[in-house]
Amino acid sequence: MNEVILKIENLSKQYRLGTVGTGTISHDLNRWWHKVRGKEDPFLKVGEVNDRATKGTSDYVWALKDINFEVKKGEVLGIIGKNGAGKSTLLKILSKVTGPTTGSIKSKGRIASLLEVGTGFHPELTGRENIFLNGAILGMTKAEINAKIDEIVEFSGCERYIDTPVKRYSSGMTVRLAFSVAAHLEPDILVIDEVLAVGDAEFQKKAIGKMQDISKGDGRTVLFVSHNMAAVQNLCTRGIVLENGGVVFDGKTENAILFYLKGNLTSEDLIDIKDRKGNGRIKTKSVEVYGDDKDSSAISGSKLNFEYQFENQNNVLLKDVRFDFRIDDAMGQRIAWFSTVLKPTNGSNDIFKILNFEIQRCNLNQGIYYVTTYLEVNKELADHIQNAFSFEIFEGDFYNNGNKIPLVQSKILMDFNLNYKEC
C-alpha cells in the first residue's frame, strides 16, 4: 500500500485572460519562432499568480504554478482551498480534459473522473446507453460493463428512469448515475470534484460510504475536492491546501482543515459587509472577541466575551430591539444560539449602541467558529449577516487537572462530577 500510484512534478498551467489561446497572431508567431530555434516559450516568463480578488497588470495568469506531490495506492487525498485556488484546474489536468503548460504527471492504472454534473453523458441517450458510453470512455469492454450494470443502476437509485433520455433527468439524478458509473467500473484512481454537493443527503452518505469502500476495501485511490469540511474529514486520509495556484500545506487531514480555516478568519469590522439583509434601521458595526480581558485570547475553561458595536443613526431604543447571534463550528454545524430581548435600565429610554456578552466559563473546544448575527427592530428584520465573522478558541485546562484538552471531534466540553465506587 506504500506504492506511489500518482506523481505530480513541477506542474503549471497558464491562461491568457479574456481570449482563447494567445489572442494575437504576433504572439503565436513569437512562440513559433522561439520553438524552431529551440528556445523556451517567452510567455512562460510572464504572468501573475491567480489571485481573483485583485485586478493585476498582466494578461497572463498561472492557474497552477509548480505543483509537486505524490499519492500512494489506497490513499484518499482531500484537495481544499478557496474558489479560484486551482483545484478544478488540477483535476482537469489529471483527467486529461486539458493539458499542463509545464511539468509532468506520472500515473499507474486507469483514471476515472467526475468533474461536473453529467460529464461525458449525452442528453439524447438513455441512462442505460450512457452507462455503456461512459464505461467505454473509461476503457471498459462491453462484457465488463454488462457484469456491473445491475449494481450501477441499483446504487444510483434511478432504476425507474434508466431507459429514459438523460435530458429529462434532474441534476441530482444525473450526478447519481454519473457517480455510480465512475465508482463501479473499478478505476485505479477516482477523481471527484464538488459534484456531490448536488446530490441529496441520502446520496451523499451513500457516496461517501462507497468511496471509503473503494479506498479501504479495494485499495484504490481517490482524489476528492470539496468545500464540505465534514465530508473531507470523514473521508480523506490526507489533505493538501491550494492557494493562488500553489500548494501551501500538505499533511494530515485534520491539520490541513485547520490550516485552511485559519486562513479564512474574517475581519471584526462588519459595517462594510455588503452581503446582508434587512431594512438597515440599525446595523451591526463591529465586534471584539476576547478572553478574560481585551488583551487575552479566548481559551477553553476561561471567560469568553463578545463585544458588539452598532451603527444606530436612527436612535433606535433598547426596548425596541431583539439581537440574536448563532455560533457554528467549522463544519457548519450549529453549536449555540443566543437570543436577547433588551430592556432599558431603570425605565430610561436608552439608545442602542453597545452590547457585551460574557460567558463565565467557555466550554468550546479548540478550533475555528463562525458567527451569524440577526437584528430585529419592533419585530421587523433590520440587519442579518450570514457568517458575519469567525473567531478561534485555543486549548486550555478546562477540567483544572493540569492537562489541556486535545483536538478531538467533540466541540462541546461538559463539566461533570465523577464518582468511583468499588464493586
In what helix (H) or strand (E) does residue 155 lie, and over which residues does it extend?
helix 142-156
Residue holding cell 454537493?
A: 197
Please give the CATH superfamily to which domain 69-262 belongs.
Answer: P-loop containing nucleotide triphosphate hydrolases (3.40.50.300)
Distance CA 119, CA 15 (A): 22
What confidence category does residue 422 fall into, taking pLDDT thresholds of 50, 70 and 90?
A: low
Average pLDDT over residues 290-313: 91
Residues 93-101 have a mean pLDDT of 86
Whether the Cβ atoms of residue 188 and residue 109 lie closer than 8 Å to each other? yes
* Residue 7 β-bridge partners: 70, 106
Name the residue with higher pLDDT: 416 or 129.
129
pLDDT band at 90 (very low <50, low <70, confident <90, very high): very high
| pTM of the predicted protein model | 0.68
| 255: CB partners within 8 A, 6+ apart | 239, 249
CATH number for the domain whose boundaries are 283-393:
2.70.50.60
Joined grid coordinates for residue 151: 449494481
Going by pLDDT thresholds of 50, 70 and 90, the confidence category of residue 250 is: very high
Query: Is a pLDDT exceeding 80 seen at residue 179?
Result: yes
Task: Return left, alpha or beta for 186; rule: phi > 0 is left, psi -120 to 50 is alpha, else beta.
Answer: left
Q: How confident is the model at residue 333 (pLDDT cuts 50, 70, 90)?
A: confident
Query: How far apart are alpha carbons 110 and 138 in whole angstroms?
Result: 8
Helix (H) or strand (E) holding 34: helix 25-36
- Collapse the DSSP code of 174 into the 3-class scheme (helix H, G, I; strand E, B; otherwise coil) and give the result: helix
Residue 186 to residue 329: CA distance in whole angstroms = 36
Do the Cβ atoms of 324 and 338 come closer than 8 Å? yes
Determine the Cα–Cα distance for residues 407 and 233; give it in Å rounded to an integer.
13
Distance (Å, whole) CA 281 – CA 403: 48
Per-residue confidence (pLDDT) for residue 356, from 0 to 100: 92
Whose cell is 475553561? That residue is 301
- pLDDT grade for 46, boundaries at 50, 70 and 90: low
- Of the two residues 330 and 90, the one the predictor is more confident about is 90
Average pLDDT, the chain: 83
Confidence of residue 265 (pLDDT cuts 50, 70, 90): low
Tens of pLDDT, residue by residue over 47-65, are: 545 554 455 556 678 889 8
CATH 3.40.50.300 domain extents, the chain: 69-262
Answer positive or negative: Cα dihedral of 66, 69, 70, 76.
negative
Percentage of residues of the chain with pLDDT beyond 90: 32
Residue predicted with more confidence, 106 or 399 = 106
Give residue 266's pLDDT: 67
pLDDT of residue 44: 62
Average pLDDT over residues 105-132: 84
Q: Which residues make up the CATH 2.70.50.60 domain(s) of the chain?
A: 283-393
Name the DSSP letter for residue 217.
I
